[in-house]
Amino acid sequence: MSRIAFGTWQLGGDWGSFDEDTAIAAIHHARELGVNLFDTAQAYGFGKSEAMLGKALREELKRDRDNLVIATKGGIKPRSERPRDSRREWLTQGVEDSLRFLDVDHIDLYQIHWPDTDAPAEETAGILQEFVDAGKIRHVGVSNYDAAGLAAFDETRPVETLQPPYHLFRRDIETDPLPYARENDIGVLVYSPLGSGLLTGAFTPETTFEKTDWRSRSSAFTGDTFLRNLAVVDRLKEFAAGKGISVSQLAIAWTLAQPGVHVAIVGARKAANVEASLAAADIDLSADELAEIDRLTADAVPVSGASPEGVA
| DSSP assigned state of 140 | E
Left, alpha or beta for 196 (phi > 0: left; psi -120 to 50: alpha)? left
Residues 179, 164: contact at Cβ < 8 Å?
no
Whether 44 is a known active-site residue: answer yes
Q: Which residue intervals of the chain are DSSP H helices?
A: 20-32, 48-63, 88-102, 121-133, 147-154, 178-183, 223-243, 247-256, 271-280, 287-296
Please identify which of the residues 44, 110, 166, 191 carries the catalytic annotation. 44
> Are 207 and 230 within 8 A, CB to CB?
no
What single string gives the DSSP state of each residue in 111-138?
Answer: EESS--TTS-HHHHHHHHHHHHHTTSEE
- The gap from C-alpha 208 to its chain's centroid, in whole angstroms, comes to 23
DSSP 41-73: -TTTTTTHHHHHHHHHHHHHHHH-GGG-EEEEE
CB contact at 8 A, 85 and 76: yes
- The closest of 227, 233, 244 to 194, measured between CA atoms, is 233
Residue 165's alpha-carbon distances to 19, 22, 49, 172, in angstroms, are 26, 26, 19, 9
How far apart are the C-alpha atoms of 219 and 174, rounded to whole Å?
22
The region that residue 84 occupies, defined by phi over 0 for left and psi between -120 and 50 for alpha, beta otherwise, is beta
Amino acid at 197: G
* Residues with catalytic function: 44
